Amino acid sequence: MLPALSSSRLKLDVGDLFHETLKIWGETEQARLNFIRTDLEVCLALADVAETKYNMGHREQAARTIASAEKGYSDILRFFYQARGMTPEIEKELQSKFRQVRERLDELLQRLG
């Protein structure tokens, strides 16, 4: 037999559940933003590696490294479009970082011809 629940106890549990859900949602979105920031930095690091390979005369290796950075860029862009609840400041920061990565990759692609 199930224990009886009073209506006030039920309301408290629903309220607690709602607040816990909001907390988890916020933590998930923060983790998503941190992931985006980190992955953008990885893309920039790959661009640096590709440039070094290019400067050493290893064009094919540079092209493969740029391809990896391009894939990372397109993957992380999808995560960015899925993000919710960003402040205008965070959105502006991330858009700026995306532009920086895109410009860097385009510069390297142009050098590779």
Q: What is the pLDDT of residues 50-100, one digit of tens each?
A: 999 999 999 999 999 999 999 999 999 999 999 888 899 999 999 999 999
pLDDT of residue 2: 53
Instruction: Supply the DSSP symbol for 85.
Output: S
pLDDT at 17: 83
CB atoms within 10 A of CB 33: 19
What pLDDT does residue 57 have? 97
Q: CB–CB of 94/37 below 8 Å?
A: yes
Q: Running DSSP on this structure, what letter comes out for residue 57? A: T
Cut 0.85: pTM above it: no
